[in-house]
Amino acid sequence: MKLITLSNFKNKHFLALVGNVVISGFSVLTIAVLYRGLTKSDIGTWFFFLTILGLADAIRNGFLTTATVKYYAGTTVERGAEVLGSVWYLAIALTVGMCLINAGFFIAIGWIKNPELIIAIKWFGITFVSSLFYSVTFWILIAEEDYLKILWLRLINSGSMIVIIIILTILKMATLSNLLLVNFLTNCFTSLFALVFGYTKIKSFLKRKQESIKEIANFGKYSLGTNMSSNLLSSINTFVITFMLGPAVLAVYNLPQRLMEIVEIPLRSFVGTGMSAMAIAYNNNNMYHLKFVSKKYAGVLMFAFIPIIIIAFFTADIAVGLLGGGKYAGTEAANIFRMLMFCSILYPIDRFNGVTLDILQQQKVNFYKVLVMIAANLPIAFIGIFLFKNIWGVAIATPATLLAGLLFGYYHLRKHMEYSFKEIIITGYVESLEIIRKTLAKLKK
C-alpha cells in the first residue's frame, strides 16, 4: 500500500475541512472547559452574549461574504482592487453603524433591568470592532480559495483563546468577565496578525468606486438572508429561553447546539468551497456546472450525514456527558441533540438552496425566506413554552422552522433552473459512490 503524504491532501476541500475541524475542535474544547469551570447561569450569559454578537456578525458577514466571493473571485487585478476597496468601505460603515446602535442602548442602560442584556451592551461594541480586520480577511481568502492561510488564522485565533482559558481555569481565574476580555484580546491579536502580514489588503480601500459600492450594497442587502438563516433558529430561541426560562436553562439548550458541530464542520467546509466554485461558474456563464455543484455538494453531504446521525442517536448521552460534565447528565440535552441530528439530514439542501439563490442574484428570496422562518418559529416557541413550561416548548419549533425555510427556498429556486429533490438524491448517491471508489483505488496502490 502506497504511503499517503501531505501532498495528497493539498487541495481546497481538504484544507477547508481541516480549517473547520480546527475551529470546531477548539470551540468544543473551550466549551468543555467552561462548562466545568463556570456556573450554569454564567454559561447561559456567555451564550446569550455570543448570540447577540453572532447576529451582528451574521449581518456583516451575510451582507458582504457572498458579495466578496461573487465579485472578486476570478476577476482582473484592477477590478479586484476596486471590489475589495468597496467591500472595506461597506464593512467599516456596517461596523460603525452597529456600534452607534449599541451606543444608544448604552445610554439607556440605567433603565435596563436584565443583567444578561447589560453585560452584552457593555461588551458588544469593542468586541465587534476587534473582529473587523479578521472578518474581511476571511472573506478575501475564501474568494482566493487560500484555505491554508485561513487555517493559520483559525489556529491563531482559536488556539490562543483556548490556551489562555485553560491557564485561567488552572489558576482559578476563569470568570465571565475574564472570558469576555480574552475573547476581545484574541480577536485583536488575530486582526493584527492579518494586518502585519498583508492578508487584509486594506490598501485597496483607496481604490474603491461609488459604482462598485452601490453594486455590492444592492447585492448584499438581500444576500445576508443566507447567513442569517443559518443563525436564525438558535438566535431566536436563545432570546426566548433567556427572557422566559432563564440563563441556566439556556446552558442546557446550548449544549446539544454545540454538539451539532459534528455536522456543521463538513457543511461549512462544503458551502465555502462550493460557493466559490458556483461563483466562478456563474461569472463564466456555465449554468450547467453551477447546478451540478449545487446538487453534488448537497447530495453527497446528505448521504455522508446518515451514518453520523445513526451513531449520534445511540451515543447522545455519552456525548453530553463528555462535553458538559456530570451536572448535565439526565437533562433534556441528550434528547434534544437526537432531535437536532434527525433534522440535520435536510441541512445540506437548505443551505445550498440559499447559496445557489444568492449566486443567481436572487438575494431578495433569501431575505423573504428569513421572514418565513421567523413567522414559523416564534409562535410555535411561545405556544410551546406556554403549554410545556420547559425547554421542549422551544425545541419543538426546530423541525417546523427548518421545513418552512427549506420548502420556500426550494420552490423559488425551481423558478430559475431545473432542480428537484430527486436529482439531488441521485447525484449525491452517484458522486458518493465515485468518491468511495476513488478513495479505495488510491489506498490499494
pLDDT in tens, 132-152: 998 999 889 888 878 788 888
- Measured in degrees and rounded to the nearest 5, phi and psi for residue 127 equal -70, -40
The whole-number average pLDDT for the span 92-102 is 94
The whole-number average pLDDT for the span 200-227 is 83
Q: How would residue 17 be classed by pLDDT, with cut points 50, 70 and 90?
A: low
pLDDT at residue number 365: 84
Digit-coded pLDDT (tens) for 277-309? 888 888 788 888 888 888 999 999 999 999 999
Nearest of 223, 267, 213, 230 to residue 360 by alpha carbon: 223
Pick 213 or 154 by higher pLDDT. 213
pLDDT at residue number 88: 95
Task: Compute the distance between CA of residue 50 and CA of residue 437 in angstroms, rounded to an integer.
Answer: 42
Task: Compute the distance between CA of residue 442 and CA of residue 445 in angstroms, rounded to an integer.
Answer: 5
Pick 363 or 227 by higher pLDDT. 363
Task: Compute the distance between CA of residue 226 and CA of residue 420 in angstroms, rounded to an integer.
Answer: 20
pLDDT at residue number 94: 93
3-class DSSP state for residue 88?
A: helix
pLDDT at residue number 344: 92
3-class DSSP state for residue 175?
A: coil
pLDDT at residue number 426: 92
Cα 356 to chain centroid, rounded: 17
Is 6 a residue whose pLDDT tops 50? Answer: no
Residue-by-residue DSSP string for 359-401: HTT-HHHHHHHHHHHHHHHHHHHHHHHHHH-STHHHHTHHHHH
Nearest of 293, 258, 339 to residue 431 by alpha carbon: 293
Digit-coded pLDDT (tens) for 22-67? 777 777 788 788 887 787 788 888 888 988 898 888 889 888 887 8
pLDDT at residue number 222: 67
Is 3 a residue whose pLDDT tops 60? Answer: no
Residue-by-residue DSSP string for 256-271: HHHHTHHHHHHHHHHH
Residue with cell 482559578: 172
Task: Compute the distance between CA of residue 37 and CA of residue 173 in angstroms, rounded to an integer.
Answer: 9
pLDDT at residue number 314: 93
Digit-coded pLDDT (tens) for 383-424? 888 888 788 888 888 888 899 989 998 899 888 888 888 899
Q: Provide the Cα torsion 133, 138, 140, 145; round to 10°.
A: 160
Answer yes or no: pTM beyond 0.85.
Answer: no
Question: So where are the chain's domains?
Answer: 9-440
pLDDT at residue number 343: 92
Q: How would residue 122 be classed by pLDDT, with cut points 50, 70 and 90?
A: very high
Is 263 a residue whose pLDDT tops 80? Answer: yes
Task: Compute the distance between CA of residue 196 and CA of residue 204 in angstroms, rounded to an integer.
Answer: 15
Give, in order, the Cα–Cα distances in Å from 1 to each of 11, 438, 440, 442.
Answer: 22, 15, 11, 9
> 392 with 332: CB under 8 angstroms?
yes
3-class DSSP state for residue 246?
A: coil
Length of the chain in residues, anyone? Answer: 445
Is 9 a residue whose pLDDT tops 60? Answer: no
pLDDT at residue number 2: 42
Digit-coded pLDDT (tens) for 176-188? 999 999 999 999 9
Indicate the average pLDDT of the chain: 84
Q: What share of the chain in percent tops pLDDT 90? A: 25
Digit-coded pLDDT (tens) for 316-366? 999 888 888 777 777 888 999 999 999 999 999 998 888 888 888 787 787
Nearest of 363, 75, 334, 389 to residue 217 by alpha carbon: 363
pLDDT at residue number 347: 92
